[in-house]
Amino acid sequence: MPGTALHGRDAEPVIAQKLRSSEVGKFGKALRMRIAESSSKLLNFATSQLPNFIIHKRIPMNQRKAILIAMCCLIGSLAGCAHEKEMVVSEADMPPPAALFERLTADAAPGKTLVGILHVVASLPGERYTFKIAAAAKRPDSLRLEDLSVIGLPDFMLTVKGSEIRMLLPRSGEFMVGTESSEPIRRIFPPAVKPLDLVALLYGQPPGIFNAKSLKGSIDGNRFRLDVYAQGTWAQSLWVDPVTGRLAKIEIADGHGNTAYRALFHDAVEVGSLTVPGRIEIETEGTAKVRLSLRNADMELVSRDDDPDFFLLKPPPGITPKVSN
């Protein structure tokens, strides 16, 4: 129903599936640690000790060379495993920029809505807040957020549909209709982060660029880097993990060609047909830096076709909407 909270049945997490994937992840991590420890111990066995070991065992000469070669190959392969994280990516590995950008921005679940509870930590100069928000995001331009206050009425309920933003403040009984530039609405978001940016970020994707764009691909450390320009001006930079093909980091430009904010994506989780970040770290630039940590490990992919006004918040009876410029 329009105006109802998201924390009903439709927003309950599928815990069993997530626990299974979590246990598999923990087992894999423990196994990798054991392998790494074993590798380190094997690598500490100096190759200079091998001839003495073989001689004292009185191994026939025709077998000694074969054993030495086999041991050297084994040590070499273990050394490669121990330094796997130091992978070097060459220019030849870089995919075509247009193909990479298309894959990063593709809608793998058209018509579906990503819902769940965001655990938020907001750090401002001298202040720190923790809270929860019920969130629903549908690509490309639909968003719904509802504050989950521990006591009493929620602080706000908000929907975004295209350029129109509607917000209800239950404690004061105000209902506002505006845009991303409206002052009361801007207080809900960090100054540099647009409401529709959050839709893309929750999906682990870059915010949309609607102007004509050009792309430049390069290698930055062990990441693919994609610089995006809109009408000749730098708009965003994307860093992509070459192993998973997922977005690892993004920097978004402000209107003057400087960095407005950056976002890092961690702890990928499987949600239906999608892989989305389980944790997003956002940091704005400027004198009043804002850091946001969004943990969304229990998201679900659902259909909201039963409620066409789900992303168009309705004013409660008796409340007159105010237009906010």
Q: Whole-angstrom Cα distance, residue 108 to residue 11?
A: 21
Q: Whole-angstrom Cα distance, residue 20 to residue 38?
A: 27
Q: Residue 139's closest CA among 119, 114, 118?
A: 114
In this prediction, the residues of the chain whose per-residue pLDDT falls under 50 are 1-57, 64-65, 67-70, 72-84
pLDDT of 52 = 45
As a whole number of Å, the end-to-end CA separation of the chain is 28
Q: What is the pTM of this model?
A: 0.72
Does CATH number 2.50.20.10 belong to domain 91-323?
yes
Q: In the chain, where are the structural domains located?
A: 21-86, 91-323
Q: Which residue has the tokens 């430009």?
A: 253
Q: What are φ and ψ of residue 234, in 5° steps?
A: -60, 130
pLDDT of 112 = 95
Tell me the per-residue pLDDT of 151-187, one tens digit each, with 9 for 90 and over. Answer: 888 899 999 999 999 999 999 999 999 999 898 888 8
Phi-psi region of 255 (alpha: psi -120 to 50; beta: other; left: phi over 0): alpha
